[in-house]
Amino acid sequence: MTETTKTHVILLACGSFNPITRGHIQMFERARDYLHKTGRFIVIGGIVSPVHDSYGKTGLVSSRHRLTMCQLAVQSSDWIRVDPWECYQDTWQTTCSVLEHHRDLMKRVTGCILSNVNTPSITPVIGQPQNEASQTIYQNNNNVSNKPTAAKILGKVGESLSRICCVRPPMERFTFVDENANLGTVMRYEEIELRILLLCGSDLLESFCIPGLWNEADMEVIVGEFGIVVVPRDGADPDRIMNHSSILRKYKNNILVVKDDSNHPMSVVSSTKSRLALQHGDGHVVDYLCQPVIDYILKSQLYINASG
């Protein structure tokens, strides 16, 4: 497959990230490596979206702290970003609504027509003008055919992701890009397919099988329209899990299970274990958390008491 015919993917992970662990970052890396090895996908970005404070989970520290820890954890990454939108809403947001927000935002910012897993886009990508006097993103000053390549488009997507999602520490407040800012004049681009996929561990996949826990209409959208990339953890069998849910069985082809030869200890994804290690002064906390996150936790006196 050529670069332009491969599906271009943004991986989105939702969760408490209380705190974010080494394992969470490894999930992104493993998912990207696997998707690239399939030859069908190009991962152009990753988004970490911490949950709103009103989620109500016991011991959940303020989103102010969780956002900062997430930003510290990805500060050396050139493709994973932290997005504060979920935390800055008036109340808790469903996973479905977070996915839809990012799909709509990417559509506006990049000018790309984002497809879902069932109906790939067949319409050329258009950049819609809002102010003709403003500077264009891509400007062709001659009459010969000089259609921007997929690489140029992806470069613009990457810039947009950085502007939207990345607010790096140190910081006094969070800033937001103007979502209605002009993004260029009308331009027909080479067709690419861009999708946002939910990245999760097999434990979240298993939660889909618990009656009443998830809204079925949301599950239809998450799995049927977006799709999921699952990183197995703790010996779970995603194929067995999928057989316990009619919706997961229905959209089985939209669920990509990461299969590789690596031996990552996915138990280090556990925020619970990292909090217990902090509470007990366990030196193995360095196995769970990166040093900048540990330093921030100690400085802010987070998780040291059992109450969080």
**Average pLDDT estimate for 102-111:** 78
Distance CA 231, CA 250 (A): 20
CA–CA separation, 158 vs 140, rounded Å? 21
pLDDT of residue 111: 59
**pLDDT band at 160, cuts 50/70/90?**
low
* 32 has a pLDDT exceeding 50: yes
Would you say how long the chain is, in residues?
A: 308
User: Domains (ranges, CATH) in the chain?
Assistant: 7-118+191-264 (3.40.50.620)
Lowest-pLDDT choice from 63-67, 171-175, 197-201, 234-238:
171-175
- Residues 165 and 224: their CA atoms lie apart, in Å, by 25
pTM: 0.76
Q: What is the per-residue pLDDT for 128?
A: 29
| Residue range 210-237, pLDDT digits in tens | 999 999 999 999 999 999 999 987 767 8
Residue 141 confidence class, pLDDT cut points 50, 70, 90? very low
**What was the pLDDT predicted at 100?**
95
Output the CA torsion 1→157→89→178 (10° steps).
-160
